[in-house]
Structure 1
Amino acid sequence: MNAIPQFPRPVNEPEFNYQAEPEGRAVLESHLRSTDVVDIPAVIGGEKIYSGDVEEVRAPHDTRRLLARIHRPNEQQVRGAIQNSLAAAREWTALPFDKRASVFLRAAEIVAQLRRHEITAATMLGQSKTLDQAEPDAAGELIDFMRFNVYEAQQIHAQQPLTVQGAMNRTDWRPLEGFVYAVSPFNFTAIGANLACGPALMGNVCLWKPSQKSALANYRFFEILEQAGLPPGVINFIPADPAMATRVALDSPDFAGLHFTGSSQIFKSLWRSIGENVDRYRGLPRIVGETGGKDFVLAHPSADADAVTTALIRGAFEYQGQKCSAASRAYVPRSLWPAVKSALQEQLPQLRVGDVAQRETFMGAVIDGVSHGRLNARIQAARDDGQAASIVSGGRTWTEPGWFVEPTVIEVTDPRHALMRDELFGPVLTVFVYEDKAWEDTLKLVDDTSAYALTGSIFCVDRQALMQAETALANAAGNLYINTKPTGAVVGQQPFGGSRASGTNDKAGSWMNLLRWTSPRVIKESYLPQGRWQFTGN
């Protein structure tokens, strides 16, 4: 009963090779072909609630295809979810760490061994991800979050103060007092899972508000958590109206923390609301957020043009540019631009855009009509602005059978053009061509043109220039990549997060994030209490 297991450092989950595993491919394709429509309930205290207030989930790349119906809980039910979580907190917190950890390790094994193809297919269909994008997310990264979180949390628990002769000192790594509100985005199934499971591993109870656009894959993982033995109420699944759920959560005196991934504007508004409500809370809430990006690729004249081109294509257009880390602005020296431009114009038309179930597809659809309309307007504005912007490649958009935007590259003459500043969150890359001798001035442009500071890439062979760039861009990116694309952070290898308008930089997938979900208590126990009040020194 008093054993303390030592969890080994995990290795990253390898990608499933569907070409070499025909049985797995057949199972995946059966899920992709399925015409079943899933009714997604709220789950509160283990009870599935089908409210009848339904929101449809359709495949972005085929809007005729109905995938699921979300049953949105009402305000009273969300309030009930808070009370239910608080009631579950005492027993969950009292469980030894290794007993909590086993739930999430078991969930990782269920994904890896039993339900991998199902959750990958749900991500492909609901979020319009190709297999090359969905499998590393919904299976690989999700599994890694569960396993690495346990290992990293174990290291936190092992951090104990010095115990001296005559007294014992120890730290209790307590959860926060109240509940954590976990708000997840549409673009990564794994991120949604981690936003709720990271705090829960540390002993917290959570309300998980998934994005309606990723609700299908998120619900599949919630079912896996139940299958793994997560006690009812520890994480309550509430696919509610976002404004209502947020208002109810932030109004509660028991609100203890926000774990958020999404837009910078929404995160700032949530922070503002928390500040306005601070006097009503039992404690000061923890606020952790990873938000937007206007991520850069900076090429030095010494860089290899082919390497830069490949990084731009993969960094900007994988998953339709709908990664917060996606390359969105590029700075290319005039000496390299002819080769890079020619290669982009040659290679981008080869990227197939369409049905993500087709193996040859490189890009699916953007997530919805709002995103499509916004991107279409930006491309049209660039087309109309013939002096300040010109389309190098792409620019076509269409709406049948889904929300499609062609991979698009726009060259601007003004390095502070709105297309170099604003987050677009789609397959649009803006390029500014700088004079080779203007390297130092370009470093300043990269640093201060955009409000964001999430990811960035530097392509440079000249070691002195590279060191200069690393120093000048010290605050321009929370994750900096050298001679590689700015996307694809791996749990356990590149803890992820940025600052400035990109969030609180608490590094998902590491002890730094998990530490935010604890409220440590330090205890000193004297073996023999003092028997007199007088000092006994000289």
Structure 2
Amino acid sequence: MTYLYKREPFTDFTLSQNKKEFQNTLEKIEKELGVHHDILIDGERITTIDKITSFNPANKYEIVGTVGKADTDLAETAIMSARKSFQVWRDWQVKDRAGILFRTAAIIRYRKHEFSAYLVKESGKSWQEADADVARGIDFMEYYGRQMIDLEEREEINRSLIKYNQYLYQPLGIAVTISSSYFPFSTMVQTTVAPLVTGNTVILKPSSSTPIIAAKFVEVLEEVGIPSGVISFLPGSGEEVGDYLVNHPKTNLIIFTGSRDVGIRIWEQAAKVHPTQAHLKRAIVEWGGRDTIIVDNDVDIDMAAEELIASAFGFSARKRFTGSRAIIHQDIYKSLLERVIDLTNKLNVGDPFFPDNYMGPVTNQRAYLHIMSYLEVGKKEGRLVAGGIGDDSQGYFVRPTIFADVQPESRIMQEELFGPVIVFCKANDFEQALSIANNTKYGVTGALITNNHDHMERARYDFHVENLYVNHNCTENVFGNYPFGSFKSSGTDSKLGEQNYLHLHMREKVVLKKL
């Protein structure tokens, strides 16, 4: 049977009761900030001298909390614990493993405002973005739990009268999850629960920018009764602990979301077979890009402008699928640009503690400096028409920025940015627009805004992105209906939100028995 799942609803903050409840939760957790969370290995909490401190990116002097900082000795201990626990966890019934996910989802659903409030504080998300991030994490737990049950019950192979053929799914072993700060809850959750429900043990190395939300998630897994050693919480340096886990001959699966340079390095490291290694590792690595929106000459200007704003500036563009390249037909270029400038200048930027602020800060100082350096590049390569300034006196704020009249080969059009910057490029016609759109090494998402059905059909096959949106912003994915992944040099094309994603965490085995 196929298990259907209704998506977790988003909170409607236009309702005064919801707004009041969330405001009260924010005020409540402000009194709880600064709590320390120890490392978790083999069901035991381990205190370390070194710590990682998480700061509020909207108020860089406010400490959200601290976590223990692991070294390679603790990483080795975590691997040995995960290896031992795998022998038991892999034999759990699928429904029991899925039950862990369902119970965790139920608790987080009940405490949804609390988790969302921590995201506001730790990652600088707006109320709506934080609520959506937590809802998406709940969706991952519910969806993958049900899909794994469905997969276990399905008949997968033909049988004859004299032979009994059986198709089995077996977990790989130890999974290393290295999560990012882009969607600090939902991305961390999905890269943790998919290997768990398929029977792997998991060592979770959270982002050093957002470790507190990961720590709180692991605490819920403990609360619902996940066995000791099945999940390890191991914050630490990517260069030290991350590399040690990726290179270790006993780890079987590496899951990473982050930057292109780190993703490629992890892919290369995972491919190396060490002398004592008896298997080939799998790696699921995803990173970002420069996603493109083509706007044809037969569209409603207001609709197109709203879709561009939503694609370019949501969550301060700190996500993998940001519509940061606008390729506009010459017939409407000037009028659409003027409309987007007008809307952009009306966007409020500030502390997301206050709900009227559309955009909060970027993640940390490193991200801020990276974006500011690209603003200087943009001023040389295009015409600055909005934004172009930042302020890090209190937090890491960058005004939503627009560069016009940018050339297709320019750096600001080609290089990964991860910031609230959109560049406008003029195209003579649809063919040229499509050519410019494909002139990039990345291929996460793309959008086409048009009323021309021939152009829609052409884009279906010749717009080289993993997820194509037509007359819609390029930032949505729906479990079971619209899976999400990447093409080209944006990752390994692993589709989140579909059953096939679970296959990447297992090996298939066929047993033939003569009757």
TM range (shorter): over 0.9
Distance apart, 1:26 and its partner CA: 4.9
Q: Distance in 2 between matches of 1:31 and 1:82?
A: 37
Q: Distance in 1 between matches of 2:278 and 2:16?
A: 55
Distance apart, 1:481 and its partner CA: 0.5
CA contact (8 A) 1:7 1:150 kept: no
1:377-388 equivalences in 2 (<5 Å)? 377-383=373-379, 385=380, 388=381
Match of 2:119 among 108, 120, 123: 123
Mark the runs of 5 or more structure 1 residues left unpaired by the alignment.
Answer: 1-5, 528-538
Match of 1:503 among 491, 508, 515: 491
Q: Distance in 2 between matches of 1:162 and 1:379?
A: 59
State the SS of the aligned residue for 2:353.
coil
State the SS of the aligned residue for 2:180.
coil
State the SS of the aligned residue for 1:315.
helix
Give the structure 2 partner of residue 452 of structure 1.
442
Mark the runs of 5 or more structure 2 residues left unpaired by the alignment.
Answer: none
* Worse overlay, 342-351 or 152-161: 152-161
State the SS of the aligned residue for 1:21.
helix
1:89-100 equivalences in 2 (<5 Å)? 89-100=86-97
Q: Distance in 2 between matches of 1:379 and 1:198?
A: 38
Q: Distance in 2 between matches of 1:61 and 1:250?
A: 33
1:31-74 alpha-carbon deviations (Å, 9 max, x no partner): 45325312122111111112020121110010011111121012
Give the structure 2 partner of residue 429 of structure 1.
422
Give the letter for the 2:76 counterpart: R
Distance apart, 1:280 and its partner CA: 4.0
Larger radius of gyration: 1
Give the structure 2 partner of residue 533 of structure 1.
none
CA contact (8 A) 2:325 2:422 kept: yes
Give the percent of matched residue pairs that are identical in Structure 1 and Structure 2. Answer: 23
Give the structure 1 partner of residue 409 of structure 2.
416
CA contact (8 A) 2:271 2:281 kept: no
Q: Distance in 1 between matches of 2:431 and 2:24?
A: 54
Give the letter for the 1:367 counterpart: T
CA contact (8 A) 2:57 2:364 kept: yes
**CA RMSD, 1 decimal:** 1.6
Q: Distance in 2 between matches of 1:26 and 1:261?
A: 31
Give the letter for the 1:442 counterpart: A
TM-score by length of 1: 0.92
State the SS of the aligned residue for 1:213.
coil
1:250-284 alpha-carbon deviations (Å, 9 max, x no partner): 33221111111111111111111222345542211
State the SS of the aligned residue for 2:293.
strand
Distance apart, 1:514 and its partner CA: 0.5
State the SS of the aligned residue for 1:70.
strand
Give the structure 1 partner of residue 34 of structure 2.
37
1:113-152 alpha-carbon deviations (Å, 9 max, x no partner): 2x211111111111100011000112x1011101110222
Q: Distance in 2 between matches of 1:119 and 1:12?
A: 18
CA contact (8 A) 2:98 2:149 kept: no
Give the structure 2 partner of residue 472 of structure 1.
462
Distance apart, 1:7 and its partner CA: 7.6
1:102-181 equivalences in 2 (<5 Å)? 102-113=99-110, 115-138=111-134, 140-157=135-152, 158-176=154-172, 178-181=173-176
Q: Distance in 1 between matches of 2:299 and 2:55?
A: 43
CA contact (8 A) 2:267 2:283 kept: yes
Q: Distance in 1 between matches of 2:324 and 2:276?
A: 41
* Worse overlay, 326-335 or 272-281: 272-281
CA contact (8 A) 1:145 1:194 kept: yes
Give the letter for the 2:84 counterpart: A
Give the letter for the 2:436 counterpart: L
**Match status 1:212 vs 2:208:** yes
Give the structure 2 partner of residue 88 of structure 1.
85
1:5-49 alpha-carbon deviations (Å, 9 max, x no partner): x78311101112343535632542234532531212211111111
1:111-510 equivalences in 2 (<5 Å)? 111-113=108-110, 115-138=111-134, 140-157=135-152, 158-176=154-172, 178-188=173-183, 189-383=185-379, 385=380, 388-435=381-428, 438-447=429-438, 449-473=439-463, 476-510=464-498
Give the structure 1 partner of residue 43 of structure 2.
46
CA contact (8 A) 2:37 2:67 kept: yes
Aligned residues: 511
Give the letter for the 1:404 counterpart: F
Give the letter for the 1:369 counterpart: Q
CA 1:338–1:142 in 2, change beyond 3 Å: closer, same or farther?
A: same
Q: Distance in 1 between matches of 2:355 and 2:315?
A: 14
1:151-189 alpha-carbon deviations (Å, 9 max, x no partner): 22233221421222233211121001x311111101211
1:68-87 alpha-carbon deviations (Å, 9 max, x no partner): 11210121111000000111
Give the letter for the 2:90 counterpart: T
1:60-79 equivalences in 2 (<5 Å)? 60-79=57-76
Q: Distance in 2 between matches of 1:253 and 1:218?
A: 26
CA 1:21–1:163 in 2, change beyond 3 Å: closer, same or farther?
A: farther
Q: Distance in 1 between matches of 2:275 and 2:502?
A: 26
CA contact (8 A) 1:32 1:125 kept: no
Distance apart, 1:212 and its partner CA: 1.1
Give the letter for the 1:397 counterpart: G
Distance apart, 1:467 and its partner CA: 1.3
Give the letter for the 1:85 counterpart: A
State the SS of the aligned residue for 2:426.
strand
Q: Distance in 1 between matches of 2:450 and 2:2?
A: 40
CA 1:462–1:60 in 2, change beyond 3 Å: closer, same or farther?
A: same
State the SS of the aligned residue for 2:60.
strand
